[in-house]
Amino acid sequence: MFGKWKYEKPDGSPVFIAFRSSTKKSVQYDDVPEYKDRLNLSENYTLSISNARISDEKRFVCMLVTEDNVFEAPTIVKVFKQPSKPEIVSKALFLETEQLKKLGDCISEDSYPDGNITWYRNGKVLHPLEGAVVIIFKKEMDPVTQLYTMTSTLEYKTTKADIQMPFTCSVTYYGPSGQKTIHSEQAVFDIYYPTEQVTIQVLPPKNAIKEGDNITLKCLGNGNPPPEEFLFYLPGQPEGIRSSNTYTLMDVRRNATGDYKCSLIDKKSMIASTAITVH
C-alpha cells in the first residue's frame, strides 16, 4: 500500500523522513530541516540522499506496508571523507647535531573518520626514542563540518648522517574499500655541526715565497656553518691575532721564516700549523 523511510536517533526514537503511496502514486517528504531538498524516493521505494554529510551516518529503516502486514529492514550508512594530502609545515630552518629540536609539523585536514600520521626518515618509519625522536599527535574536530584535522609534531636529534636525508610523513585513513595512505612531499634540512678539524693554507705556494712578497694565510674549519673568525699565531708570538679566515703579511723579510698557526677562537686546542721559508 505504501512505503516509508525513517532514521533512528541515538536514543532509538524514530524520525520519519519520506512516504510514498502505491495507490495514489504520491510522494511526501517530512519536515525535517537537515534533509530539506536532499531526498528522492523512487517508485520502487529506493531512497536517494544528495550532498552527503557526516551527519548522514545513521541507522535508516525502510517500512513497507501491505493490507495485512508491516515489513521493516534496517541499514547502517557509513560516511567517509578522504583527508587532504599531508604537508610538513613550520619547518626548522636548520637542525643541530646533538640537540633535540622541532623538525616540523605534519598536517592533514578534513578527514572522516580521523586518521593517523606517520613520520619517515629516508623512507623508513620513525619510532619514538627517548631523547632522540619525540612525536606529539593531536586531532581536532570542526564543530560545523564534523571533519577532523590531524597534526603530528616531530622533535628530532640529528647527526651528520642526516645530511641531504629526506624526511616525509603520511596519513593513514579508512575509506569505503578499507585502509589507505597518502604521502607528503619530501623535506630536506640543513644540518649544523661543530668544526672537528682546522687546516691552514698559504698563498702564494710556500716554495715560491721570496723577500718583498705578500703572504696570505687562510684558515678553514670543517663545520657547518664554517667558522668565520680565527686566531693566527706568528713565529715567536704566543698571543694569537684575531681575524677573519684570512690574514695577510705585507712585504715580508727573511726573518718572517718560521711556523705559522691558526686555531678556533673558542677552542684553541684545535690548531693547524705550517712552516714557511722566505727565500
166 and 93 housed in the same domain: yes
Residue 27: all three cell numbers together: 510522494
Residue 232: all three cell numbers together: 693566527
Final residue of a domain: which of 192, 212, 244? 192
151 and 232 housed in the same domain: no
**CATH number of 41's domain:** 2.60.40.10
Q: What is the DSSP string of 209-262?
A: --TT--EEEEEEE-SBSPPS-EEEE-TT--SPEEESSEEEE-S--GGG-EEEEE
213 and 171 housed in the same domain: no
Instruction: Give the model confidence (pLDDT) of 21-30 as tens digits.
Output: 988 888 999 9
96 and 187 housed in the same domain: yes
Residue 113 counted as domain residue? yes
Instruction: Give the model confidence (pLDDT) of 93-150 as tens digits.
Output: 999 999 999 999 999 999 999 999 999 999 999 999 999 999 999 999 999 999 999 9
CA dihedral 84, 85, 89, 93 (to 10 degrees): -170
Final residue of a domain: which of 34, 59, 77? 77
Q: Is the peptide bond before 128 cis (omega within 30 degrees of 0)?
A: no
143 and 169 housed in the same domain: yes
Q: Is the dihedral of CA 198, 202, 207, 209 positive or negative?
A: negative
Residue 65 counted as domain residue? yes
48 and 125 housed in the same domain: no
Task: Read off the pLDDT of each residue in 56-64 and give the average, rounded to a whole number.
Answer: 96
Residue 82 counted as domain residue? no
- At residue 85 the predicted structure's pLDDT band, cuts being 50, 70 and 90, is very high
Tell me how many domains the chain contains: 3
91 and 188 housed in the same domain: yes
114 and 168 housed in the same domain: yes
Phi, psi for 191 (deg, rounded to 5): -100, 120
Residue 71 counted as domain residue? yes
Scanning the structure block, which residue is given the C-alpha cell 648522517?
161
pLDDT confidence of residue 9: 94
pLDDT confidence of residue 23: 83
215 and 163 housed in the same domain: no
Asked whether 139 and 171 are in contact (CB, 8 A), the reply is: no
60 and 101 housed in the same domain: no
Final residue of a domain: which of 137, 168, 192? 192
Instruction: Give the model confidence (pLDDT) of 140-189 as tens digits.
Output: 999 999 999 999 999 999 999 999 999 999 999 999 999 999 999 999 99
Q: DSSP class of residue 4?
A: E
Task: Read off the pLDDT of each residue in 59-76 and give the average, rounded to a whole number.
Answer: 95
Task: Read off the pLDDT of each residue in 201-221 and give the average, rounded to a whole number.
Answer: 90
93 and 153 housed in the same domain: yes
pLDDT confidence of residue 112: 96
Residue 60 counted as domain residue? yes
- At residue 50 the predicted structure's pLDDT band, cuts being 50, 70 and 90, is very high
- At residue 203 the predicted structure's pLDDT band, cuts being 50, 70 and 90, is confident
Residue 32 counted as domain residue? yes
Q: Which helix (H) or strand (E) covers residue 154, if one does?
A: strand 148-157
Residue 214 counted as domain residue? yes
pLDDT confidence of residue 206: 73
Domain range spanning residue 70?
2-77
pLDDT above 80: residue 205: no
Distance of alpha carbon 46 from its chain centroid, rounded? 45
For residue 2, the cross-strand partners are 21, 65
117 and 187 housed in the same domain: yes
- At residue 207 the predicted structure's pLDDT band, cuts being 50, 70 and 90, is confident
pLDDT confidence of residue 26: 87
